[in-house]
Amino acid sequence: MIYLQNISKVYRTRNIETLALDNINLEIQKSEFLSIMGPSGCGKSTMLNVIGLLDEPTDGKLILDGVEINGHTDKALAALRNRKLGFVFQNFHLISSLNVQDNVELPLLYRKVSSGERKKLTEEVLEKVGLSHRRKHFPSELSGGQCQRVAVARALVGKPEILLADEPTGNLDSKMGEDIMNLLASLNKALGTTIVMVTHDRQLANQTERIIHLFDGRKVN
Amino acid sequence: MKYIHLKQIREQLRQNRFFTFLSLFGVSIPVMIVMIMIVKVELSINPGGPEKDNDQMLFLSRTKVRMEGDRAIGYVNLGIIEKYFSEIAPEGSLAFSRSTLTPVFLENEVLDVPIRYTNADFWDIFDFRFVEGSHYNHEKVRNKDNVVVISRNLRRKLFGMQDAVGETMELEGETYRVIGVVEDVTSLALNAYSEVWLPYTIKSFKSLDPGEIAKSAGGYRVTFRASEDWDFDQIQSDVERVRSRLNQINGEQAEILFGGPAPAAESYFRGFRDPETYEGNLLNYLALAGKALLILFLPALNLMSLNLTRIQERSQEIAIRKAFGATRKRMAFQIMGENAVLTILGGLTGLMMAYGVMYFFKDQIFAGFFIRNADQATIQINYVAFLLVMGVSLVFSILSGLIPSLRISRLQPAYVLKGGEL
């Protein structure tokens, strides 16, 4: 499903060069639930961003669902992100000026889906995360756990094959974190969605099928 | 633009009230100023009232006489009108008049009232609405009868609510009989406006010999009315022939020039300028358009800087949208679309403000500096001009969104989502 071959990422400023990812090789199977662990600054989020086409690798090859990502136009990358990928961020990253329903249907705006269909799909996914009664609320009116559930609904509404979650429970208390984790696990099982999760939390990582450890930009055993 | 985009724009505007206010203010004020400018020019070119059919008229109100080491600029002298223009103009095609201010004594106050000395055909050429009585005819003008036509406004001041025809009034120590009352006239109608109209023969300054006539400016505005047999070209060539005859009389001594006869628009642009330095209508229209463009452009610069600040604030939102499939182009269009909506709202606000300001400050905006009476002017917004102004504003606003949009196109979502700045 996802292949990373000799992926490196270097951040350059005028005076400093930082090696964020160093020759990473990784293969992730379809429907796998995998977590990436490591200390702060080890390159976990960078790796997730590279897989999510939010950042370009400096070197190496990335293959997503059989498509080698190389020299794609902005439009092609946007289409891939829209069709194949869903994101859940630590800080939720909901759009404050949109209500829950409008936030959730965001990915559908960037494809040809009628408004009726958008509404139906949004309803379905909100039902799944247990927030259909909150669809007219704005993010500022929700708790952290509810915001993250909205973010998960948004990531899933377009039925992506791959869900990328960057510390999805990092800003939640343990009860809410557990809820989100259960939600992700059930989605993985029910829909066969491939999930790549970045986490600091060993307990959460243990609930996934495989753990990848990163240290100073390198994959370690 | 989808409904959800409009919904979001509404939310954006609601949540960022200060930005919304600044943007709307920035767009509406220039649109208001430009619309008032346009209405003012249009009203000056066709003020309506007695001059409403001025597309059939040519106006001549400037004479310049060049002599060795000297020059004179003024209106047209009566000698030229009576001796030459009367000769070339068919019956009922020539109106001329001279206006001045004179004190009128009321019970408790003295009013400076505009009075206008006219010929008899003046009443046929300009379309006055009589509320009482009638105007003076050729015979009364010839006989120098002390008769006047007054405005409804002056009738109210002098005679209250009563009829005025048959009553008398004092002007400059003489007694005049009121023979007609007309609806008030806007002072924008430069060739017809007054409060009192009376035969020009009562006080004509016509003691010039032919040699003097040919090299003198005077105090009269002249209006020629075109007809099938006497069209604009014919009128202009006839007046030019008169000028040649006058210059033959002048010989080497002097040269006489006329600022016209010109149609209403040219006559407005010529104004009180030297007839020799008039640069043509096109240049005047271009100058007006230039002013309007400048007025509309400066706020666009302001909007651009506001946009840049706002984009900074919204960089996270833009990064999120990109993460979920928005393209650079799409985001650029969204920003420009938001600008367009703001501009349309601002433009409509500007239009309403223009109406309001013109309604409450009609005199200050439209009437002359000394004589203020624009009450009768009918303010009509030219909606074609408004659409044009909106079009220009939209282009500017889209351009003002261009630089912020270009910055968006460089946005790396990962960098911004990690908390980096645009």
DSSP B24-81: HHHHHHHHHHHHHHHHHHHHHH---GGGTTGGGEEEE--EEEEETTEEEEEBB-HHHI
Selection from B45, B26, B34 nearest residue B271 by Cα: B45
Chain A hits for B418, CB-CB cut-off 8 Å, are 45
Report the residue of chain B nearest A48, measured CA to CA. Answer: B414
Quick one: tokens of B138? Answer: 């050729």
Dihedral over Cα of B72, B75, B77, B82: its sign: positive
Chain B hits for A105, CB-CB cut-off 8 Å, are 4
pLDDT for position B332: 80
A209 in Cβ contact with A33 (< 8 Å):
yes
What residues of B are in the A interface, CB distance below 8 Å? 2-4, 7-8, 11-12, 15, 316-317, 319-330, 409, 412-415, 417-418
Quick one: tokens of A165? Answer: 């979650």
Give the domain CATH number at A146. Answer: 3.40.50.300
Chain A hits for B329, CB-CB cut-off 8 Å, are 74-75
> Could you give the ipTM of this predicted complex?
0.92
Report the residue of chain B nearest A74, measured CA to CA. Answer: B327
Report the residue of chain B nearest A52, measured CA to CA. Answer: B323
Chain A hits for B415, CB-CB cut-off 8 Å, are 55
Interface test with A, best of B1, B9, B324, B411 (most A CBs within 10 A): B324
Chain B hits for A88, CB-CB cut-off 8 Å, are none
A105 contacts B326? CB cut-off 8 A: no
Chain B hits for A168, CB-CB cut-off 8 Å, are none
Question: CA–CA distance from B369 to each of B32, B205, B362, B372 (Å)?
Answer: 22, 27, 12, 7
pLDDT beyond 60 at B369: no
CA distance B194 to B104: 14
A110 contacts B323? CB cut-off 8 A: no
**pLDDT by residue (tens digit) across B326-336?**
888 888 887 77
Of A81, A97, A98, the CB nearest to B325: A81
Report the residue of chain B nearest A81, measured CA to CA. Answer: B325
Chain B hits for A97, CB-CB cut-off 8 Å, are 8, 11-12, 15, 317
Report the residue of chain A nearest B316, measured CA to CA. Answer: A93
**pLDDT by residue (tens digit) across B170-190?**
888 889 999 999 998 888 888
Instruction: Tell me what the mean pLDDT of segment B253-266 comes to.
Output: 86
Residue A77 Cα, gap to closest chain B Cα (Å): 8
Q: How many CB pairs under 8 A join A and B?
A: 77
Percent of the residues in chain B that have a pLDDT greater than 90, as a whole number? 17
Of A48-52, A123-127, A146-150, B249-253, give the lowest mean pLDDT range. Answer: B249-253
Instruction: Tell me what the mean pLDDT of segment A183-188 comes to.
Output: 87
Q: Is A98 on the interface with B (CB under 8 A)?
A: yes
Chain B hits for A81, CB-CB cut-off 8 Å, are 322-325
Distance from the first to the final alpha carbon of chain A: 22
* Side chain identity, residue B290: G
CA distance A80 to A75: 9
Residue A102 Cα, gap to closest chain B Cα (Å): 7
CA distance A46 to A22: 11
pTM of the model: 0.71
CA distance A99 to A106: 11
Chain B hits for A83, CB-CB cut-off 8 Å, are 325
Selection from A91, A81, A56 nearest residue A167 by Cα: A91
Cα dihedral angle (B29, B34, B40, B41), rounded to 10 degrees? 170
Of B14-23, B97-106, B201-210, give the lowest mean pLDDT range. Answer: B201-210
Instruction: Tell me what the mean pLDDT of segment B45-68 comes to.
Output: 86
Range of the domain at A89: 2-220
CA distance A195 to A34: 6
B211 in Cβ contact with B82 (< 8 Å):
no
pLDDT beyond 80 at B113: yes
B322 contacts A78? CB cut-off 8 A: yes
Question: Rg of chain B over CA atoms, in angstroms?
Answer: 29
pLDDT beyond 80 at B57: yes
B324 contacts A81? CB cut-off 8 A: yes
Residue B410 Cα, gap to closest chain A Cα (Å): 11
CA distance A47 to B54: 78
**pLDDT by residue (tens digit) across B197-226?**
999 988 766 666 777 777 777 889 999 999
Percent of the residues in chain B that have a pLDDT greater than 70, as a whole number? 91
CA distance B119 to A28: 101
- pLDDT higher for A217 or B304? A217
Of A55, A82, A105, the CB nearest to B412: A55
Q: Which of the four pLDDT bands, split at 50, 70 and 90, describes residue A94?
A: very high
CA distance A27 to A45: 17
Which string of DSSP letters, residue by residue, matches B369-399? SSS---TT------HHHHHHHHHHHHHHHHH
Q: Is A111 on the interface with B (CB under 8 A)?
A: yes
Burial of A114 (0-12, 13-18, 19+ CB in 10 A): exposed
pLDDT for position A91: 86
B418 contacts A102? CB cut-off 8 A: no
The count of structural domains within chain A is 1
Of B3, B321, B323, the CB nearest to A54: B323
A83 contacts B329? CB cut-off 8 A: no
